[in-house]
Structure 1
Amino acid sequence: MSTSPPAPAGSVRLGRVATVPVYLDRTWLILAVLVAFQGYRAGSVNGPTYGVAYAAWLVVSILVAVLGHEVGHALSARRLGFHVHQVVATVWGGHTSYDATGATPGRTAVVALAGPFVNAVLAAVGLGVGWSQDGDVGQFAWSFGLLNALLAVFNLLPGLPLDGGAALQSLVWAVTGRRDLGLLVAGWIGRLVAVGIVVWFLVLPLLRGDTPQLFDLLIGLVMAWVLWSGATAGLHRAEVERLFDTVRVGDAAAAVTVLPPETPLAVAREHPAYVLVADDTGRPTLLLRRVPLDAPATTPVGALVERLPDANVLEAEPGDELGRPLRAMAESGVEVVVLTRGGAPWGLLVPAGIDAAAGRTRRRT
């Protein structure tokens, strides 16, 4: 069973959308202040009252745009059968947390593109009202539509961590059958997008002989840093995905033996494999490890074992991928997984065995 991550510290819960909790992170206030500042600076040319109203409108607009974008991701993910944990609006915009177990190139692309699609719809509504209405109503609607249009276009740029990058990654994955290659391509293009933002906000103004505005320069550098960091994370994730594609459960599994609980410790120590003991229900969830150095040799192993979570006992074959066992470790916080076939244990997964298998794979490739 999937477990939902806790609510972000200091966040405010705004409600639920299709059972998915929606949070406003406290860091979003930083974004709100920046947007309000820019809105007042632009609107105050028509007077201070107009400037305040325009600033407030832009803050509401950016919140609606960001939450609409993330809810688009969340609803499409739920529609495709993924378990969605939460939606959070942050200083960087927002993010949607969901369990991507069973992801395919097509499903990943649909979830990625759903966010910009919502912004495109909101942009069409805003711009349509803006064209049809005069005065302040038309101006405010126009700004709402333009904001959503910019957000949609920006997110469609083909580099991670943007949605367009996720779509590109899915395309490469579908064509080549390699998820890691898709992440590599989209990650490197994401880095190029980050460099392009620096060029746009800093280099081009200097080439024109202009002095970049300090505020615009800071915004550009922060955006570039966020994109570079996200693209780099994608490149690191590519290495992990490559290991998932090449390392199988059997490559990393250690041998295991099941002993009766009354077996003396001295006898158990003669076994080179990990030692398991079945619990009262017959499940092999009791593991012998971290034995005290002063434990008498006659101590029954049943008195020295640790109970593993039921979720860390998995039916698996040697040829299976590592995804399910790794998720079990992550969700339970216990880095041991018992591998069974028909209920009978045949192996044990621990981080050391996974690292060793990954190292052998790297040396081969």
Structure 2
Amino acid sequence: MKVPCILVVDDEPDNFDVIETFLSSADYYLHYASNGYDAIASLEDVHPDLILLDVMMPELDGIEVCRQIKNRMKWKAIPIIMVTALNSKEDLANCLESGADDFIGKPVNSVELKARVKSMLRMKIQYDQISEFSILQRNTINTLAKNMDELTGNIAVSLSHELNTPLNGIVGILDILKNNLADFDDNEISDLLGEAQHSAYRLVNLTKRFLLYLQLQLFGINKGSVQESFLSLPIVELIVRRGARNYDRAKDLLFDIEEGEIAISEDYLLTILLELVDNALKFSQKGTPVKVSSEVKNNMMYLSIHNVGKGMTSEQIAKIGTFTQFDRETYSQQGVGIGLKLVKMIAQVVKGFVNINSTYGQDITVTVGLPIFSASQPN
């Protein structure tokens, strides 16, 4: 948790010493300014969470300092406690009218000072939390607005199709079993349940990919410690062959893997491999090779997937986006066009990149650059 920072403004250094002593039992950073001009000038560097401001100061008194701070939108939310020897109602009214949030009389009482400081800092924390939530809401709204065409256009066609197809399959199989169960033997029932299970897995996979897209789009990657995974031939083979089951293409897979430790979580590495290999198998003919290779160079791992097949035009590559599929009317395919977009988003948040080289109608190579993990990387 961040240690609160308090700016003490007083032309008498002895007064600062008193306040420092009173607050020494609490975990605060204290900064001192000996006049109003220095106080205002220090805001950019200090970024205080609270200001203890003496009223009676030469040249620029505390009331004017308070007024100038509160008139600036950037600093308006900083709570200010006026420290004053004045006690008339008019004087206190002037403090409040200048924008002060509270005041405390001189000589300063230790118990009262601690209580008022604690109260004001609690209010500042609550304000900051509300502001952060407001920013998050605004960013979410902006993101959704920016992608509205995708969410109301392509998604209406592709996502609805991908949801309805397996759902209809599951519902249809359950209806058949419910109404005609006695007509089927055990093997037939097992086959029907297998089809339903396949459709259910397809729905689960689609949901996971869509949720991952939303997570990356709205929140980015987890800001915690740098994660690592080991890219090796056995791991790559295991993941890629798992993705190739639906296409019966195990014999078409080729591997040329240079191993290495990379700065990316295993989940994200799994997503990259499955998405790219799925695309390579989907848009190439059975019997044509799909090659997965990796190379370590310049402190980066270059992971490439190459296939002979449909390929992409330069215009299509430039337009890669969420829920976008090209030539769908020509090439029958499952999916919502989210694969390459997910790969690019993951690469971006781990400070990597994606390059696509293709000759339309012939072949395509997708290369993902991922940073090599170093023990010296910051956590």
TM-score higher than 0.5 here?
Answer: no
Report the TM-score range of the alignment, normalised by the length of the smaller protein. Answer: under 0.3
User: Could you state the TM-score of these two structures normalised by the residue count of structure 2?
Assistant: 0.25
Q: Which has the higher helix share?
A: 1
Relative contact order higher in (CA < 8 Å, ≥ 6 apart): 2
- What TM-score, normalized to structure 1? 0.26
